[in-house]
Chains A and B, each alone.
Chain A
Amino acid sequence: MNFSIANDNVIWQNLLTGDRNALAKLMHAFFRPLANYGLRFTSDKELIKDSVQELFIVLWERRDQLATSVNLKSYLFTSFRRLLLRKLKKIHKTSTITLDPIYVDSFSFVLGTESKIIASEQANNLSNHFNQLIAKLPERQREVVYLKFFESLSREEIANILEIAPQTVSNILQIALSKLKIATPESVWKFCTFPLVQLLVEYLF
């Protein structure tokens, strides 16, 4: 995203005063991060688009009740997560026949399959290895890892989104990372002098 925090805040202020263009700008800027996050819960693209639209319309309707100073990214992720999960729950409830597989997936992500064509064999080995490890993590740990590494959110922001304590986020991350680290054999890192997990840990703490 090419939006600085200062810029985001200006747009947010404009939105609160009733500027429709500000809403459009925010929607455009945040569509991909929100959609990508939503795709971890369901692969239904139409449902994702509906949910993003609903999120921004509700935002617009409630704009005079919203706080003037807000951590925009974590606020949007929090609201979007709640909205999408509510919709998914409704689909689960109303559908009597067997669910389309696009709705039954719990939070999941797969690394690097798209880039397989261009990536080297080494990179593929590494992503396959990581995929196996990540698939073994419990859902909560997987979601925290995703928000931390692929959305670069802070401990506090993740805590907000998942509605848990910041300390809990740290604990979950530490457990998840130690699992990834222990399970990664030295041979995988041979081509890379700088162990990635080490790097991720350093980046974090």
Chain B
Amino acid sequence: MLIQDPYLNYSLEDFFWDERFRADVLNGGKDFAYWEEWVKLHPTHQPLVEKAKLMILSVYVDNITFHEDEIQQLVRDTQKILELDYVDDFPMEDATPARKMNRYWAIAASIVLMVVASWIFVEKNKSVNLSFQPSYENLIKAIPHQLIERVNQTNAPLIITLPDGTRTTLSTNSKISYPEKFIALDKREVFLVGEAFFEVVRNTQKPFLVYAEGLVTKVLGTKFRVRSYAIDKEVVVEVASGRVSVFANPKFANDDKKASNELSSIVLIPNQKVSFLKSDASIVKTLVNNPILLKPEQEAKKLINFDDTPIYTVFAVLKEVYGIDIVFDEELLAECSLNANLDGYSLYEQLNIICKALNGSYEVLDGRVIINAKGCFKK
């Protein structure tokens, strides 16, 4: 017996709420091709399908899209956290009395350790006086537990997987230290001299901290680079995805800095970078030298081909594609438009092309692009 196509009995309402039909309409292109074929087979249903499509397109909530990769990454990260037992597998109530005792002993022991460690630290601070530097060696000396140290003395980058699954690409002549297991309940700490790129496994409950000289970089789950060679005058942090916050290590800040707001953290988004000057612990936010596309290349290519596009839209597209903020006078530039395909150029080249067309200029200030232009005549 032939199974009848259920869609033949669909009303407009049925089509409107049908999950598959909805998805195909919203995805468009290849996905909707099925329905174009279907309509050819059943021409009497064409008006119905057209109407349903129109309705879905007009009453559809516009969402910021999460890419499938992004979602899968989050699920993988979460699985990793569970596998590595960073989440307590047994709720407190289930713990046996022996386990409970151990817990108390562990807490007592860690308190003693902390007291001893801080006493040692204070004593050391006293004897070392003000010239105490937040160098890599001094930073790891202050850590009470054993650390694993990896050094890259080869000419090729060295990939290291940290105990939480985080992937680190260590550059030549660089060193990183981390604990055998991230046992601390509230954070994951690593220490770096030289350069490394981190792809951090997201763990909302345990921020990941990179200590490099006097700068601390704190993230939840992102991709970013830290460069802190001993001979450099500054520490540089560049963000590839997600969000990163950086702040001067409060342990090494002098008192007037501590009092001021300068210790508060600075938040970085993709394609932004900070330079932390070792001498005075000042932090400057700019853009990375080569901003990367945050959207898949094919998608971005289509977006940046402008055909008599209002300048407002052009900047909105660049904001979306690179994730950076572009500041301009909307009123002043209301009459301006752009006719150019910007595919194949870097962000800075693209900005140059636009500014030439606008007869203006741009500058990068505090991690944002500021456009200076006088406006265009009405056509």
Question: A54's contact among B66, B79, B204, by CB below 8 Å, is which?
Answer: B204
- Nearest CB of B to A167, in Å: 24
- Chain A hits for B74, CB < 8 A: 27, 31, 49, 52-53
User: Which single residue of chain A is at the shortest CB-CB distance from B63?
Assistant: A36
Kindly state the separation between the CA atoms of A135 and B28 in the bound complex, as whole angstroms: 27
Q: Are B62 and A111 in contact (CB under 8 A)?
A: yes
B13: CB under 8 A from chain A? Answer: yes
Query: Given the complex of chains A and B, what is the CA–CA distance between A51 and B62 in angstroms?
Result: 21
B325 to chain A, nearest CB (A): 11
Task: Tell me which residues from 30 to 69 in chain A have a Cβ below 8 Å from any Cβ of chain B.
Answer: 31-32, 35-36, 39, 43, 45-46, 49-54, 56-57, 60-62, 64-65
Bound complex: CA A60 to CA B78 (Å): 11
For residue B107, CB closer than 8 A to chain A, the reply is: no
- Report the count of interface residues on A (CB-CB < 8 A): 56
Is B364 an interface residue, CB under 8 A from the partner? no
Which of A112-120, A155-163, A171-179 is found at the contact surface with chain B? A112-120
Question: A109-147: which residues lie under 8 A (CB-CB) from chain B?
Answer: 109-115, 118-120, 122-124, 126-127, 130, 146
Residue of B at shortest CB range from A50? B204
A135 CB → nearest B CB, Å: 13
A20 interfacial by beta-carbon distance below 8 Å: yes
A28 within 8 A of B: yes
Residue of B nearest to A109 (CB): B61
Instruction: Check if A61 sits within 8 Å of B71, measured CB to CB.
Output: no
Within 8 Å CB of B88, what residues of A?
Answer: 61
Question: In the assembly, what is the distance between CA of A157 and CA of B88, in Å?
Answer: 31
Does B78 contact A199, Cβ atoms closer than 8 Å? Answer: no
Decide yes or no whether A10 CB sits under 8 A from chain B: no
Q: Does B243 contact A (CB under 8 A)?
A: yes
Question: What are 21 A-B pairs with beta-carbon distances under 8 A?
Answer: A1-B19, A20-B82, A27-B75, A36-B61, A39-B63, A45-B66, A46-B242, A52-B74, A53-B74, A53-B78, A57-B78, A57-B81, A61-B88, A110-B62, A113-B62, A114-B62, A115-B57, A122-B54, A127-B59, A130-B58, A191-B54
Residues of A within 8 A of B (CB): 1-2, 20, 23-24, 27-28, 31-32, 35-36, 39, 43, 45-46, 49-54, 56-57, 60-62, 64-65, 109-115, 118-120, 122-124, 126-127, 130, 146, 149-150, 152, 191-194, 196, 199, 202-203
